[in-house]
Amino acid sequence: MYVEARRNKYGELISYRLICSGKDYYTGKNKQYSKTWKIPKHLTKSKVEHELDKVKYEFEEEVEKLSTYGTLKEKKNPMFEEFAYEWLGKILKRNEDSYCYHNDVEQHLKAIIPAFKGFKMRSIGPDKIQDFYDDISASTYDKQVVIVKKSIKELIEYKQQHKIAESIGINRLTLRMASNIGNQVSMATAKAICKYFNVPIEKYFEITTTKCRYSKATIAGIRRTLKMIFAEAKRSRCIDENFTTKEYTKPFKVTTKPKTIYNQDEAKQFVKCIENERDLRRKASLAMFIFLGLRKAEVAGMTFNAINFEENTLSVRQNRIYAGKKFGIKNKRPKTDTSIRTISMPKKLAEILLEYKVWWDEQKSSHGDLWAKSNLLFLQDCGEGINPCTLAQWVTKFEIENDFKHVSCHGLRHTCCTLMIKSGIPIKVVSYILGHSSPAFTLQVYTQLMEGQPEEASITYNDFLCG
């Protein structure tokens, strides 16, 4: 170690500069570490020498740690499960609106933790991670489907519905859904209802279990979550390399399910049935899905303040999401700036929403104080906005009643986009209407739905030149 004494302009000894040889932890090359020790005032010469020896010894230890661990602290090597759940707990602390992301990660960890349980972070290498990716792509999971086979109306007093739902721990709409034969409910809801009424679950609900493969989107989400855990571990210097990246692992192979949408003829018939729909709530929501391709959360969060009937525009300003049983239903700002947009409404949609506004005003008047504080398009009797999942149930019921194949709420969004592009609307305009981040993203997502368009384009262009 080299020690250099430093003095001020008066020749007084004021500090020592210490230089110690070591290594750069990240490159492995030799490196000189330096430190300046200022001499405390009022120390005698002998005490200065004594303190300097202590400082030199401590600095040598620091250089040893920096050369060996890259930090003054020895690297932690926590158990994977412990570190993963610790990271999960930080998600909402960093962004209090990340309810959906928190829920997704929580679900992904159910698939990830069993594969890495008992392993320390630094003991997990590329081979172990690749094995997990291969297994998750080929594995199946049990999915339970619970269908109401006998109505629980016989157990419920109509006037006590609200109190019963509250006692069970569900909302009144869910209780109502569980009262109608043929409806699907969650296993948790079925168990809670049967426990409250002290009746056997098999008497009122039919439970079937099927083997399902993880979808491409789910596997991508699981992989993304694992990658984020290891990225956090690297930032915390628990590990040296993130072995979940493409540099160390192969991309997963999984069959992509084709998107189910309506073709032009089916969509026209769908619109005709919407026009004849008696339930004005379903009519309005279905029209927003098929005419504008709005997301489910955007429809659930739509307010009449966002609709301008004079200028014939509709503005997307908030999402209403179901953030799981843990967080319930939340109204939040759309996650991207491009999702916040003002759209011109097709004439038919404007007519349907205007008709719905008349009915809604009547309902608001009859419900009095219960509806006074809300301007959401879709409200429950109690004045609370509907659960976004209710929209999916409306779509499914409408399709069954009118003999349509099942296309989800998001499938109607895909339908809307595909038909707008086929009708000749510029891709940039379609991208804006849908609230996509860019036209390139719109093309990337919907390319597979454009089958047959090259042939149509060649015929159109031939007619243009030769016709």
Phi, psi of 346 (to 5 degrees): -60, 150
Over the stretch 247-290, which tens digit does the pLDDT of each residue have?
898 876 666 667 889 999 999 999 999 999 999 999 999 999 99
Confidence of residue 59 (pLDDT cuts 50, 70, 90): very high
* 80-139+214-235 CATH fold: DNA polymerase; domain 1 (1.10.150)
Tell me 120's DSSP state. B
| pLDDT, mean of residues 6-34 | 89
Distance, in Å, from the CA atom of 43 to the CA atom of 12, rounded to the nearest integer, reads 13
DSSP notation for 144-162: EEEEE-S-GGGG--GGGHH
Q: Identify the residue with better confidence: 143 or 403.
A: 403
| pLDDT, mean of residues 178-193 | 87
* CB-based contact 286:272 (threshold 8 Å): no
Domains in the chain: boundaries: 2-69, 80-139+214-235, 141-213, 264-456
Phi, psi of 425 (to 5 degrees): -70, 130
| pLDDT, mean of residues 435-459 | 69
Amino acid at 58: E
| pLDDT, mean of residues 430-447 | 84
pTM for the predicted model, two decimal places: 0.70
| In CATH, 141-213 is 1.10.260 | yes
Sign of torsion over alpha carbons 458, 463, 465, 466: positive
Distance, in Å, from the CA atom of 181 to the CA atom of 193, rounded to the nearest integer, reads 15
Give percent above pLDDT 90 in the chain.
50
Any idea which residue has 């209780």 for tokens? 175
Name residues whose C-beta falls within 8 Å of residue 290's C-beta, 6 or more positions apart in sequence.
Answer: 267, 270, 271, 274, 412, 415, 416
* 264-456 CATH fold: hpI Integrase; Chain A (1.10.443)
Amino acid at 89: G
Q: Identify the residue with better confidence: 26 or 235.
A: 235
Over the stretch 305-337, which tens digit does the pLDDT of each residue have?
999 999 999 999 999 988 877 788 888 888 788
Please return the burial class of 466, using the count of CB atoms within 10 Å of its CB with bins 0-12, 13-18 and 19+: exposed
**pLDDT at residue 240, rounded to an integer:** 83
